[in-house]
Every structure is written in C-alpha cells, then in structure tokens.
C-alpha cells in the first residue's frame, strides 16, 4: 500500500506542477494492458485492439504464448501471472520504462473451479480466489498510478455469474459477485482522478474456460462418484464439454470491452450475452432478488413505489432527468 500511495502522489504532483505536461507528451497510440491474453477472451481482445491500431501489452505465462503474441503487430507480450507479485512488479517496470504510458487496463485473467461448496477442498478454493479476486486486486493496485497519469480506463471482466449462482458453481460465482462490489467501489474512488471503471458481464462465450475447468478436475483427480451432488456435477461437466461448441462468438465481448475503453461516455456495466435466454436469466434474477429484499421488511415499498423507482432508474440510464 505504501508503494501505491507513493507512486500515486508522484503522479498527482507531476500534474499539479505542470498540468499541460501530460497533454503535450501524450502518445497518439493509446496503450492497453490485457491480462490473461494467451487464449480465449483475452487473446481475442488483444488481437481486436491491436488490429484497430491500439498498442497492447498482452499478459501471458508460458514461453510459447509469449512468442506467439510478440509476433503480432501492435502487441508486446509481457510475462504476467496475476498470482505472482514479482511478475506484476516487473511488468509495471517494463511498461513504465517503455514510455508509452498506459491508458487502459483490462482485468481479464481468471479461472473456473467447478465443485460443490461442501466438497471443494481448500487448495482448490484458494486457487479460485487467488486468481479471480486477489489477482484483480493485485493488478489494479499495481497499475493504478499509470492509469491515473493517463486519465484512462479500467475494465473488469465479470460474468452473468455475478448475478446467477447454482449448485457446483458456487466458488466461481463468489468471485464474480465480488467483482460487482469491487467495480462499484473502484469507480467511486477513481472518478476524482478522471478515470472511468466499467464491469463487463459476459454470458457463455467460447473462451477456453470450459476446457481449463475440466483440466483442473482431471489434474486434481476429482470425481463426482458417491457424492450427494453427483447429478449436479455430471450436468455441469456435460455443459463444460459442450462449452466451445454451443456458445457465442467472443468477438462480441471484445467489442464491449473496446466500448468501455474508448467510447466518449463509457457505461458502468456492459451485459453482453449470446442469447435472449441468458439475458432473461440474468435480468429476471436481479428482479427476483430485489423483490426478496423488499419483501416483509419494516420499510417495504408497494408496487406503485417500485414501478416509480424503476421508471426513475430507466430515465437516468437514458440520460434524462428522473
């Protein structure tokens, strides 16, 4: 925390001493860091932005992935495991010394562990939380001073699982619920620096996460046999096996990310789903939760009041006075 505050104060002091310095030296080509860019959504995002002329620092862990990314125009691969602080510190040093600054940060890296909450062991639980929660926290804290200097943007890859949760998906959904709170608080903190924060909420898109979840099950030699949750686990495994065939084009998610980074007025949330069904699941669950919260409590609102509140929220979203 001390290092973050020191870097932040230095960035703010530079702007106070010479507020025109940033505008005078700002590069024409905006630079963006994408974590977890070796495959899946992260790779698609990195390639899409690079193809449009943005400079992308693409975080990856394996030598082969780093070499592939480096071969793409407008991409510089950066060795970056979001669970390793030494790699994060080295990446900050590399990007700062490159002199381009950093306009955008896309917190994309993540993993999925599929297991009932009553069966998951602590090692798997930690693996899930370390990448998807602590990883986002580490990366954001480390790169925030660069983003603040650029008055840039931060995009966080959440999920419709931040709203939805069910048997065997509890550990993963917990991390995406956490991103809802993280994004809201971070947006409130960053607005004083002119930095916008957006949460991207994808549905089921071809991302490689299904295969990685299945690989984890195999590596850990985990089986649903003899578990009281065997039926639910088998259904989840079947769904993961069909993941890459049945789900949406990840280019749609990359497009939403670019809107959050480069549109004049970015939204705080981008729900992006490949089907009406997934949109219904998500929006309807949010409404159900609101009704559950409102029900049978001391300060409940009646139907007319709820509709009035909904109308005010819709008007605000449309940019009108409530």
Rounded distance between C-alpha atoms, residue 196 and residue 151, angstroms: 8
Compute φ and ψ for 222, nearest 5 degrees: -95, 140
Catalytic residue among 54, 103, 172, 205: 172
Catalytic residue status for 103: no
Rounded distance between C-alpha atoms, residue 273 and residue 68, angstroms: 29
Q: What tokens appear for 79 in the block?
A: 């060795």
Rg, Å, the chain Cα set: 21
Asked whether the beta carbons of 149 and 195 are under 8 A apart, the reply is no
Q: Report the Cα 318 to chain-centroid distance in Å.
A: 25
Q: Report the Cα 25 to chain-centroid distance in Å.
A: 30
> What amino acid positions are annotated as catalytic residues?
172
């Amino acid at each position: 925390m001390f290092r973050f505050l020191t870097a932040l104060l230095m960035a703010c002091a530079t702007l106070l001493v010479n507020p025109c310095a940033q505008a005078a030296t700002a590069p024409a080509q905006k630079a963006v860091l994408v974590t977890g860019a070796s495959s899946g959504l992260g790779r698609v995002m990195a390639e899409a932005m690079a193809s449009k002329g943005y400079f992308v620092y693409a975080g990856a862990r394996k030598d082969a992935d780093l070499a592939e990314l480096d071969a793409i125009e407008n991409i510089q691969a950066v060795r970056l495991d979001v669970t390793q602080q030494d790699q994060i510190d080295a990446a900050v040093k590399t990007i700062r010394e490159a002199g381009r600054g950093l306009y955008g940060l896309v917190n994309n890296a993540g993993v999925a562990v599929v297991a009932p909450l009553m069966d998951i062991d602590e090692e798997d639980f930690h693996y899930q939380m370390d990448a998807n929660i602590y990883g986002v926290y580490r990366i954001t804290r480390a790169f925030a001073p660069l983003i603040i200097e650029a008055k840039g943007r931060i995009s966080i890859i959440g999920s419709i699982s931040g709203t939805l949760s069910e048997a065997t998906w509890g550990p993963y959904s917990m991390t995406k619920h956490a991103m809802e709170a993280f994004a809201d608080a971070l947006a409130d903190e960053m607005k004083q620096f002119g930095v916008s924060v957006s949460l991207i909420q994808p549905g089921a898109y071809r991302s490689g996460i299904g295969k990685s979840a299945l690989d984890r099950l195999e590596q850990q030699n985990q089986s649903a046999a003899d578990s009281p949750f065997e039926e639910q686990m088998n259904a989840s495994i079947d769904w993961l096996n069909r993941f890459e065939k049945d789900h949406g084009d990840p280019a749609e998610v990359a497009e939403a990310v670019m809107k959050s980074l480069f549109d004049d007025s970015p939204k705080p949330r981008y729900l992006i789903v490949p089907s009406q069904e997934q949109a219904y699941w998500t929006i309807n669950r949010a409404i159900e939760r609101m009704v559950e919260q409102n029900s049978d409590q001391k300060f409940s609102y009646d139907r007319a009041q709820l509709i009035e509140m909904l109308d005010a929220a819709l008007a605000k979203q449309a940019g009108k006075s409530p």
